[in-house]
Amino acid sequence: MRLDKFLADMGFGSRKEVKGFIKKGLVQVNGVVVKSDKFQVAETSDQVIFEGEQITYQKDFYYLLNKPQGVISATQDNHEETVLDLFADEDYREDLFPVGRLDKDTEGLLLITNDGLLSHQLLSPKKHVEKEYYAHVSGVMTDEDVKAFDEGLVISGDEQTLPAKLTIVSVDEAMSTSKISLVLHEGKFHQVKRMVAAVGKEVTYLKRVRMGNLYLPEDIQLGSYRQLTEEELKALRGE
């Protein structure tokens, strides 16, 4: 790999910027100052030092974000705040993207990565990767609703959903409200809201708490993120 690409990939600037750093003699490879941006390095075995800091090459990045309401699941937008706008400058990379999407008013777990293969595996309709949501509902959910969800529903637009596991967490008869957990195996547009609407109720609050074997940790505040642990990444890949 070219030295300038190595440094740019690791977030030390654009290709043009890192070329300038290299020509100024700020980079060492295996203890020797290198001033050619075309110099070839072995990213996993060569020791690259930039201004005294040793750089460990990392190809793929995986972040777990607790998305707040009011933020859209996009990489950039001229009018709305995006999930990548929540990233600190030192963590931001142009190749990062959200895996799937959460509605603007939906909170919870969102995977941010630059690994296109893993994203495809998680989103492929053939894989049926489970997604679990927690929701507040206006209306009383019933055992009949549980059965209807289990059989699959016809939602708005005459779309047929796959069977989904609905669990009624609690019901407040006096306030005519419910709290539910819902596990889906697909990702139709506004699916949770449309399924609940199909049985005559309305979602008033929605949070995703799980994607596959990756759970939303309780210690990550809304709007915060962190890199996945090795254990979480293995669980997500099903290893």
Mean pLDDT by 10 residues, the chain (239 residues): 90 89 94 94 92 89 97 94 94 92 96 94 89 98 98 95 97 98 94 97 98 94 96 88
pTM value is 0.83
Dist CA 181 CA 87 (whole Å): 29
Secondary structure of the chain as H, E, C letters: CEHHHHHHHCCCCCHHHHHHHHHCCCEEECCEECCCCCCECCCCCCCEEECCEEECCCCCCEEEEEECCCCECCCCCCCCCEHHHHCCCCCCCCCCEECCCCCCCCEEEEEEECCHHHHHHHHCCCCCCCEEEEEEEECCCCHHHHHHHHHCCEECCCEECCCCEEEEEEEECCCCEEEEEEEECCCCCCHHHHHHHHCCCEEEEEEEEEECCEECCCCCCCCCEEECCHHHHHHHHCC
Tell me what pLDDT residue 11 has.
Answer: 82
Asked whether 210 and 131 are in contact (CB, 8 A), the reply is yes
* Both tokens assigned to 106: 């939906």
Tell me what pLDDT residue 39 has.
Answer: 94
Residue numbers annotated as active site = 103
For the chain, which domains are there? Answer: 3-55 (3.10.290.10), 62-125+213-237 (3.30.70.580), 131-211 (3.30.70.1560)
